[in-house]
Amino acid sequence: MIIWLASGNRHKKEELSAILNGHELRTCDTDGFDFNPDESGASFLENALIKARSLYNLLAGRGISAPVLADDSGLCVDALGGRPGIYSARYGATGNGKTPDAAEKNALLLEEIGDTAERGARFVCAMVLFWGEDRFYAAQETLKGEIVRNIHEARGGKGFGYDPILRIPELTRTVAELSEDEKNRISHRGKAARAIAQLLREGVPGTDFVNPLFPAQK
């Protein structure tokens, strides 16, 4: 089945494609039209719905009827009262609209936290499978860990964003040191995506959709 992904993030598409195996994920950037919704929600779920609804309506205006998958995620740091949260992608943006790159944001966040003993943090992901204006399915999950002490403890070349500075204590590694399979198994986005994948495997209640890769549910 074709599912439109409300994101142009290559890393995110790769992660979700691995989990939603058997479905084709399409994005606006590879299909030649612009998609840049105003993420003005007050929560991860609100922003995911804004992106899903915006892309769904954009596709409908072009005569395309298809489900849309959207997510909003970010890093919530206990010592910062849950920031940067929904502003994780824009963290450190200046008045002229310039947003720091990932390495700069990581350094800025570590500087803001300082040497406080409270290092608890979590990635949060709200994910929506959108079938229409008033019909959608949502899952929200977390990945808990702790922020490294300083930039010299940042580790790993995998993943993206804040992954090098969030350590998973039980694994004694940062998220950026995990293999793709490991990350998909425990990550906030991986867990939310698997909940959506289970829905797709079992069929969507109240519709005639049944995943052709699996037998119809009785």
Residue 200 is predicted with a pLDDT of 87
What is the pLDDT, as a whole number, of residue 211? Answer: 43
pLDDT value at position 206? 52
End-to-end CA distance of the chain: 21
Query: What is the pLDDT, as a whole number, of residue 202?
Result: 80
Show contacts of 161-170: CB within 8 Å, 24+ apart. 161/75, 161/88, 161/102, 161/105, 162/75, 162/88, 162/102, 162/105, 162/106, 162/109, 162/123, 164/106, 165/106, 165/109, 165/110, 166/75, 166/121, 166/123, 168/143, 169/145
Question: pLDDT value at position 151?
Answer: 94
pTM of the model: 0.86
Q: Say what the pLDDT of residue 132 is.
A: 87
* Mean pLDDT of each 10-residue bin along the chain, 218 residues long: 88 85 84 79 96 93 92 97 96 84 95 97 97 90 97 90 96 94 90 92 59 36
Question: What are the chain's domains?
Answer: 2-202 (3.90.950.10)
Which entry of 31, 72, 134, 163 is annotated as an active-site residue?
72
Bridge partner residues of 147 (DSSP): 166
**Known catalytic residue at 72:** yes
